[in-house]
Amino acid sequence: MSNQDLAIKLVGVSKTYQLHHEKPTLAENIVRKNKREMFTALKNVNLEIKKGEKIGMVGSNGSGKTTLLKIISGISTPTKGLVKTWGKVVSLIDLSAGFHPELTGRENVFLNGLLIGMGREEVRAKYGQITNFADIGEFIGAPMYTYSSGMKLRLGFSIAVAADPDILILDEGTAVGDEDFQHKSSQKIDEFFKQKKTIILVSHWMDYVREHCQKVVLMKNGELVMFGKTDRVIGYYLDQIDSGK
C-alpha cells in the first residue's frame, strides 16, 4: 500500500515497562541491580490504517488497547518499532490530561490547544467557538482547580473538536457532561463520522462498533490477534468470549 493512502502505520511496535514495587534499600539496589521485573504491554504490533477509514478496537481490559492508542497519539513512545502518522492526531479519551490546575480556563485553552497541535493564531481565532461550545460561563476566568470534573471534560472536549483533527481517537463514552451537553457532543462525533476523517473507536459495545466501523482491530495480551472486516472480527471475538478463551 502506498504511504500516500495511509493515515497510520505501525511496524514491529513493542512497549515494555519496568514494574516498581516497594522502594528497595541501597543494599538491595547494589545486590539486585541486574534484576528488574519487566512487563510487556505490546508485542510486535504491525498495522496499516488508510486515510478516512473508521476502525474499531476491541479486546478485554489489559489487552493493550490503551497503550497502543497512547503510542499512536504520540503520548507514549514505543520501546521498539516504527510509528508513523499522517495528519493531526487528537484523542478524546483522556480529555483533561493536559490541563494545569493553577492556570485559568482561558489560559488552559491556549496551553491545551498548543499541546494538541493547534497554532497560537488558530486557538485565538477559535477561542469563542471553544468557550461557547463548553458553556461554562464565568468559570473560564477561574483557576482549573475550582472546576468540577464535568466542567474539565466539557472544556477538554470543546478544545479537541475545535482542533479539526485528521485522525480522531475516541470511545463510545466520549459524550460528557449533563444531558444537554451529551446530546451536543454526540452530534459533533456523528459529524466526524460522516466526514473523511480517520477514526479509531475503542468500545466494549459491539453494536456501536458494527454501526460505525468498517474494520476492527482485536487486541489480546498485548498482541494484535486479528484485523479485518467488522462482522468477521467481532464474530471471532464473541466466540472466544463464549468459549472462555
- The reported pTM is 0.83
pLDDT of res. 219? 95
Instruction: Answer yes or no: is pLDDT of 27 > 70.
Output: no
Same domain, 160 and 220: no
| Same domain assignment for residues 28 and 57 | yes
- Secondary structure element (H or E) that encloses residue 219, with its range: strand 215-220
CA 223 to mean position of chain CA atoms: 18
Dihedral sign (CA 159, 152, 186, 196): positive
Identify whether residues 83 and 102 lie together within a single domain.
no
Q: Which structural domain, as residue segments, surrounds residue 215?
A: 3-87+202-242
Same domain, 74 and 110: no
* Residue 78 sits in the same domain as residue 12: yes
Q: 177: pLDDT confidence band, cut at 50, 70 and 90? A: low
> Do 81 and 120 belong together in one domain?
no
Q: Are 201 and 54 in contact (CB under 8 A)?
A: yes
Q: What is the pLDDT of residue 184?
A: 86
Q: Which residue, of 140, 164, 188, is where some domain finishes?
A: 164
pLDDT at position 23: 61
pLDDT, one tens digit per residue, over 101-160 is: 999 999 999 999 998 888 999 999 999 999 999 999 999 999 999 999 889 988 998 998
Whether residue 76 lies inside any domain: the answer is yes
More confident of the two residues 33 and 151: 151
Q: Note whether residue 54 is domain-resident.
A: yes
Distance CA 223, CA 226 (A): 9
pLDDT at 15: 95
Radius of gyration from C-alpha coordinates of the chain: 20
Residues 67 and 126 in one domain: no
In a domain, 11, yes or no: yes
User: pLDDT per residue over 35-46, tens digit each?
Assistant: 667 889 999 999
| CA–CA distance, 76 with 204 (Å, rounded to integer) | 23
For residue 84, what are the β-bridge partners?
A: 9
| 60 and 107 both lie in a single domain | no
Total of domains in the chain: 2
Per residue in 57-79, pLDDT tens? 999 988 999 899 989 988 889 99
- Whether residue 221 is contained in a domain is answered as yes
Per-residue pLDDT, averaged over 86-93, amounts to 87
Residue 125 and residue 60 share a domain: no
Q: Is 64:221 a contact under the CB 8 Å cutoff?
A: yes
Q: Looking at the structure, tell me whether residues 59 and 23 fall in a common domain.
A: yes
In a domain, 194, yes or no: no
Is 173 inside any structural domain?
A: no
Average pLDDT, the chain: 88
CATH number, domain of 212, equals 3.40.50.300
Residue 131 sits in the same domain as residue 157: yes
Q: Which long-range contacts (CB under 8 A, 24 or more apart) does 66-75 make?
A: 66/93, 67/15, 67/41, 67/42, 67/222, 68/13, 68/42, 68/219, 69/93, 69/169, 69/200, 69/202, 71/10, 71/13, 71/15, 71/42, 72/8, 72/10, 72/167, 72/169, 72/200, 73/169
